[in-house]
C-alpha cells in the first residue's frame, strides 16, 4: 500500500473541468482509509416540493476552476476532510504549479462515450479503467447509505448505478488491460461494455453530480469555470514542464505525530477494509495489476469458498500471479518440484488452470471448481507481496530516512517470502529470517512493536540480507505465459 499521500486530480463533467485533491488509500490502526477534499453539508429540500423532507447531511467533494483557485483555498481553509491527513501541512503550502494534475490524474467523464465507441486499444482500456476506478472511489467515499449502522440497510447504496456498472464482468475486465479485449471473446466483451455504458452512464453521472460541489466550498461560482475546450486550449498554451525538474505527483512527507481522524459517516473519507502494511514514504509499487475494489471483492467470494487464493509476487524480474493454499498448515503453490508458476495477467493464469498440465494443486479437492470457473484470479491486497518495494524502502532508510518507515512495513512481504521459502525449500531465506539474524530480529520487532521506526544504522545490514532473500525467492519463480499471441 502507498504511504500517506495527497494527489491533485481533475474531473471533466458537463463541459467544465474541476480541480480537487484525492488522498489514495493509507493505513491507520489496521484499517484502510481514503478521502477527497470535501466535507459534509446540509442539503435543503426542493422548495417546490409539496412535502419537503428536512435537511439531510450529504458528503460533497469541493471542485475549483483552476489549480490556482485550489491552492488559494488550501492555504487558508481547514474545515474539510483532508485537514487531519498526515501530509496536509505540506499540501497547504504548495503553489498552483504543484497542485496541477498530471495526465494520469485527469478524468474526462464526458468523454467515456467517445472512448468506448472506438475499437479497443491499450490507451482506451487504460483510460476507461482509470475513469471507472475514480468514479468508484468517489462513490465509496460519498456514500452515506453504505455507512448506515442499521443491519437492514447493509446492502443499500446511494450509488446504485455506479455499483451496477462496476460489478459488470466486462467493467472488471478493464483492470486486466488490453488482453481482456483481444480475439472474438474480447471483442464481444468490449461490445457488452459499450452496452452497459449506454444503459447506465447517464445515471452514474447523475448520482455522482449530486455530490460534486462546483462552488469550491462557497469560494467560486459555476460561471468561473471555462468550458472544457477553453480549459484544454489554455493548458496547451502553457509552457512544458522542465524535464529536469524532479517533482513527484504524490505530495508526501508524512509526520509521525500527525493525527489521522476517523471520518464521520457521510464524509468524503472512507474506511472500506482492513489494510495490510504501510509506512511513510511513497515508493511506487512494481505491480502492473489494476482492478477495482468491487471486482476484487466479487472474485474473492469464489476463491475463498474453494480455499485456493490468487497471489501476486513482485520481484526484480517482474510481477507474477499464482495460486496458493494451505495443506496441514503448510503453504502449497501452483507449481511443481518446488518451482512456483507465475503468470503476467489473471487471464493467462486462468487459461493455464483450465488446461490439463500436472501440478501440485491438482490433487486439491476443490481444484475441479478452479479449472471450471469463469471467475478471474484477482488477488486481495493482503495476498500481494511486493519484494522490490521493501528493497527501495530499506535503501531510503539507509540513505538517511531513518524514523520515516516503521518496522511493520516488513510484515506483509515477509509473510509471502516465508510461504514461498517453505514450499520451495530455500534454506538461506529461512536462515536470514531466523531469530538471531538481523532480518529475524527486525521481524520480531515488527511483530512486538510494529510502530517502531527502522533506524538508519540497521538498514544496510537489512538491505544486504533482503537482497539475498529476494534473489533466492526469484530462483523459485518460473514465469509462464500460456497465451498464444
Which residue, of 214, 237, 260, is where some domain finishes? 237
Q: Are residues 17 and 113 in the same domain?
A: yes
pLDDT at 109: 94
Give the per-residue pLDDT at 260. Answer: 33
Number of domains in the chain: 2
CB 49, CB 36: distance < 8 Å: no
Residue 71, all three cell numbers: 491552492
Domain assignment of residue 353, yes or no: yes
Domain residues for the domain of 441 are 283-485
Q: 62 forms bridges with which residues in the sheet?
A: 213
Q: What's the per-residue H, E or C state across the chain?
A: CCCCCEEEEEEEECCEEEEEEEEEEEEECCEEEEEECEEEEEECCCCCCCCCCCCEEEEEEECECCHHHHHHHHHHCCCCCCCCCCCHHHHCCCCCCCCCCCHHHEEECCCHHHHHHCCCCHHHHHHHHHHHHHHHHHHHHHCCHHHCCCHHHCCCCCCHHHHHHHHCHHHHHHHHCHHHHCHHHHHHHHHHHHHHHHHHHHHHHHHHHCCEECCCCCCCCHHHCCEHHHHHHHHHHCCCCCCCCCCCCCECCCCCCCCCCCCCCCCCEEEEEECCCCCCCCCCCCCCCCCCHHHHHHHHHHHHHHCCEEEEEEECCEEEEEEEEEECCEEEECEECCEEEEECCHHHHHHHHCCCCCCCCCCCCCHHHHHHCCCCCCCCHHHEEEHHHHHHHHHHHHHHHCCCCEHHHHHHHHHHHHHHHHHHCCHHHHHHCCCCCHHHHHHHHHHHCCCCECCCCCHHHHHHHHHHHHHHHHHCEEECCCCCC
**200 and 312, same domain (yes or no):** no
The CA distances from residue 415 to 289, 290, 410, 447, in Å, are 20, 22, 9, 12
Is residue 264 in a domain? Answer: no
Pairing of strands 339-342, 335-336: antiparallel
Residues 37 and 128 in one domain: yes
Entry field: residues in the chain: 485
Cα separation values, 102 from 20, 94, 97, 134, 292, Å: 13, 15, 11, 15, 21
In a domain, 15, yes or no: yes
- Low-confidence stretches of the chain (pLDDT beneath 70): 1-3, 29-30, 43-55, 145-157, 235-288, 290-292, 401-404, 482-485
C-beta of residue 366 within 8 angstroms of C-beta of residue 307 = yes
Nearest alpha carbon to residue 283 among 397, 439, 378, 382: 397
Burial readout 432-457 (b: 16 or more C-beta within 10 A, e: otherwise)? bbeeebbbbebbebbeeeeeebbebe
> What Rg, from alpha-carbon coordinates, does the chain have?
24
Task: Using alpha carbons, select from 481, 410, 415, 398 the residue that is nearest to residue 450.
Answer: 410
Q: Is the domain of 213 the same as that of 334?
A: no
Tell me the three cell numbers of residue 128. Answer: 476507461
Question: Same domain for 316 and 387?
Answer: yes
Last residue of a domain, one of 213, 237, 261: 237
pLDDT at 246: 40
Would you say residue 438 lies in a domain?
Answer: yes
Hunting for cell 494520469 — which residue is that? 104
- pLDDT confidence of residue 53: 60
Q: Is 111 exposed, middle or buried (0-12, 13-18, 19+ CB in 10 A)?
A: middle
Are 293 and 216 found together in one domain? no
* Residue 247 is assigned to a structural domain of this protein: no
pLDDT, position 482: 53
Distance CA 100, CA 97 (A): 5
Residues 177 and 311 in one domain: no
Residue 242 domain flag: no
Q: Which of 177, 204, 237 is the last residue of a domain?
A: 237
How far apart (Å, rounded) are the C-alpha atoms in residues 434 and 443? 9
The predicted structure's pLDDT at residue 257: 35
In a domain, 243, yes or no: no
Same domain, residue pair 60 and 146 = yes
Whether 153 maps to a domain, the answer reads yes
Residue 97 shares a structural domain with residue 178: yes
Is residue 233 located within the same domain as residue 309? Answer: no
Same domain assignment for residues 72 and 131:
yes
Q: What is the pLDDT of residue 401?
A: 62
- Both 368 and 446 in a single domain? yes
Which residues make Cβ contacts (< 8 Å) with residue 381, sequence separation at least 6? Answer: 1, 32, 273, 275, 276, 296
125's grid cell: 482500456
Amino acid at each position: 500500500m502507498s504511504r500517506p499521500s495527497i494527489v491533485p486530480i481533475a474531473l471533466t463533467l458537463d463541459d467544465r473541468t474541476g480541480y480537487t485533491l484525492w488522498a489514495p488509500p493509507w493505513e491507520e490502526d489496521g484499517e484502510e482509509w481514503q478521502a477527497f477534499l470535501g466535507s459534509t453539508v446540509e442539503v435543503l429540500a426542493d422548495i417546490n416540493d409539496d412535502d419537503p423532507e428536512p435537511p439531510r447531511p450529504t458528503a460533497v467533494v469541493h471542485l475549483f476552476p483552476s489549480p490556482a483557485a485550489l491552492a488559494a483555498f488550501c492555504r487558508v481553509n481547514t474545515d474539510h476532510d483532508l485537514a487531519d491527513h498526515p501530509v496536509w501541512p505540506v499540501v497547504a503550502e504548495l503553489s498552483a504549479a504543484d497542485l496541477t494534475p498530471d495526465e494520469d490524474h485527469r478524468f474526462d467523464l464526458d468523454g467515456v462515450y467517445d472512448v468506448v465507441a472506438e475499437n479497443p486499444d491499450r490507451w482506451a482500456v487504460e483510460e476507461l479503467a482509470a475513469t471507472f476506478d475514480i468514479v468508484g472511489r468517489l462513490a465509496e467515499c460519498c456514500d452515506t447509505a453504505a455507512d448506515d449502522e442499521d443491519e437492514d440497510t447493509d446492502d443499500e447504496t446511494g450509488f446504485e448505478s455506479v455499483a451496477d456498472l462496476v460489478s459488470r464482468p466486462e467493467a472488471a475486465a478493464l483492470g486486466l488491460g488490453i488482453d481482456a479485449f483481444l480475439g472474438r471473446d474480447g471483442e464481444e466483451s468490449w461490445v457488452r461494455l459499450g452496452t452497459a455504458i449506454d444503459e447506465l452512464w447517464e445515471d452514474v453521472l447523475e448520482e455522482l453530480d449530486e455530490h460534486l460541489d462546483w462552488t469550491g466550498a462557497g469560494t467560486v461560482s459555476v460561471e468561473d469555470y471555462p468550458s472544457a475546450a477553453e480549459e484544454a486550449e489554455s493548458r496547451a498554451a502553457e509552457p512544458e514542464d522542465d524535464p529536469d525538474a524532479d517533482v513527484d505527483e504524490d505530495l508526501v512527507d508524512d509526520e509521525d505525530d500527525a493525527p489521522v481522524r476517523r471520518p464521520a459517516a457521510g464524509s468524503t473519507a472512507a474506511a472500506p477494509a482492513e489494510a495490510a502494511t504501510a509506512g511513510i514514504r511513497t515508493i511506487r509499487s512494481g505491480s502492473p495489476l489494476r482492478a477495482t475494489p468491487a471486482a476484487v471483492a466479487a472474485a474473492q467470494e469464489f476463491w475463498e469458498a474453494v480455499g485456493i487464493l490468487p497471489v501476486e509476487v513482485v520481484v526484480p524480474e517482474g510481477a507474477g500471479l499464482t495460486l496458493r493454499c494451505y495443506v496441514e498448515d503448510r503453504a502449497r503453490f501452483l507449481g511443481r518440484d518446488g518451482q512456483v508458476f507465475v503468470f503476467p495477467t489473471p487471464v493467462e493464469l486462468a487459461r493455464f488452470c483450465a488446461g490439463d498440465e500436472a501440478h501440485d494443486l491438482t490433487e486439491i479437492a476443490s481444484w475441479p471448481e478452479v479449472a471450471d470457473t469463469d471467475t478471474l484470479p484477482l488477488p486481495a491486497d493482503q495476498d500481494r507481496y511486493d519484494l522490490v518495494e521493501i528493497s527501495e524502502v530499506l535503501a531510503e532508510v539507509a540513505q538517511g530516512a531513518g524514523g520515516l518507515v516503521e518496522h511493520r512495513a516488513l510484515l506483509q512481504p515477509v509473510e509471502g517470502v516465508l510461504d514461498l521459502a517453505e514450499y520451495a525449500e530455500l534454506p538461506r531465506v529461512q536462515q536470514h529470517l531466523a531469530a538471531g539474524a538481523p532480518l529475524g530480529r527486525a521481524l520480531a520487532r515488527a511483530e512486538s512493536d510494529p510502530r517502531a521506526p527502522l533506524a538508519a544504522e540497521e538498514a544496510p545490514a537489512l538491505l544486504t540480507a533482503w537482497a539475498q532473500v529476494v534473489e533466492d525467492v526469484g530462483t523459485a519463480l518460473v514465469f509462464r505465459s500460456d497465451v498464444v499471441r
